[in-house]
Amino acid sequence: MDLPNSNAQTTDHALGLFLASVELKAFRIARAALRHEDDALDAVQDAMLHLARSYAHRPPEQWKPLFYRILENRIRDMQRRRSVRNRVMSWLPFTADADGESDPIAEAVSPEISPVRRLELDESLVALERALATLPRRQQQVFLLRTLEGLDVAQTAHAMGCSQGSVKTHYFRALRALRMQLGDLQ
Amino acid sequence: MNVPGDDLARFERRIRAVLERDAGGLSGRVRSRLTQARHAALAGARARRDRPRWPLLRTWLPASATAAAAVAAIWLLRPYRTAPPPLAPGAGIVTTRDVQLLTDGDGFAMVEDGDGEFYEWAVAQARSKPGSPAGEAGPSKHDG
């Protein structure tokens, strides 16, 4: 019997199950931060690849915080890159229209949400997504990691690279802001 | 009476429920791309695991071992040579000045005769006429 091969197959199986369990939530967290479907998919894919290549040998209970830590870093990198790109593009004369108006498609908040999907979505969810989009990024990420992914305070702190006290503060502020915006969510 | 903490907790539960309701709302395209990403990640993990751990070591180890063995063989098979006996300080060193002293018959004669006068003169000549060689004036001494 080939024990190392058997162990490798077990790890592959466990890793596959883990990735399948987090991929949808991870995508939604990335989409909330990046507000772009393809960017969010890229971020999740990068995080999956990085985890599988560099941390697959770690115990499975460490995978979730590691995965979200990688995803968080990836989201931050993409946001920085986008910010630099926007700054550079704002200096170029040909980026604006002749009448000075910017491109509404490029500036759309959530281009991935089609009208058809909007109709399909629950009103509450649309309202929640809008409210989430107004939150500061750290609050938004902490809130989604805690609420959507169900990470505890310590795991969230590890994923976000901050203290547990910061996680509690961000989470409370996010919850209070959403409560103020949404009122009684049905 | 409503406690603010309870109110927030209830609100939190409602948000959780809304978010969980949306889990099935993603498009087929997104699901497909996520599945592809998962398979790519697993393939990446397999490829990394199957890769040899020390590829450079594997390449260079035989060559390095061969080279080390060759150097050791040359060192062991070199001709055996005994070291020369240690010399006393200054012993065995023959300079050109020594050879000249041995071969110079005039010098010996002057030393034997005790003729130090010649040397005094030569020194005096050299001091009075720095440009003229002492040997040129030598015969005049004997003439006078």
Domain ranges of chain A: 1-96, 113-186
Count A/B contacts: CB-CB distance under 8 Å: 100
Evaluate whether residue B16 is within a structural domain. no
Residues A6 and A133 sit within 8 Å (Cβ to Cβ): no
Evaluate whether residue B129 is within a structural domain. yes
Evaluate whether residue B140 is within a structural domain. no
Which residues, 6 or more positions from A82, have their beta carbon under 8 angstroms from its beta carbon?
A: A34, A39
CA distance A22 to A32: 15
Distance from CA of B61 to the nearest CA of A (A): 25
Nearest to B26 among A15, A24, A182 (CB): A24
Nearest to A19 among B14, B38, B46 (CB): B38
**CB contacts, 8 Å: A117 with chain B:** 25, 27
The region, left, alpha or beta by phi > 0 then psi within -120 to 50, assigned to residue B92 is left
Using a cut of 0.80, tell me whether the model's pTM lies above it: no
What DSSP line would sit under A136-173, residue for residue?
-HHHHHHHHHHHTS---HHHHHHHHTS-HHHHHHHHHH
The predicted pLDDT at position B128 comes to 73
CA distance A146 to A186: 20
CA distance B23 to A20: 13
Nearest to B44 among A28, A52, A125 (CB): A52
Evaluate whether residue B9 is within a structural domain. no
User: Is the domain A113-186 a CATH 1.10.150.120 member?
Assistant: no
Evaluate whether residue B109 is within a structural domain. yes
- Domains identified in chain B, total number: 1
Q: What is the pLDDT of residues A41-93, one digit of tens each?
A: 999 999 999 999 999 889 998 999 999 999 999 999 998 888 888 777 777 66
Q: What is the pLDDT of residues B94-144, one digit of tens each?
A: 666 666 666 665 555 555 555 666 677 677 777 776 555 544 444 444 443
CA distance B34 to A29: 14
Evaluate whether residue B127 is within a structural domain. yes
Evaluate whether residue B115 is within a structural domain. yes
Residues B38 and A20 sit within 8 Å (Cβ to Cβ): yes
* Complex-level ipTM beyond the 0.90 threshold: no
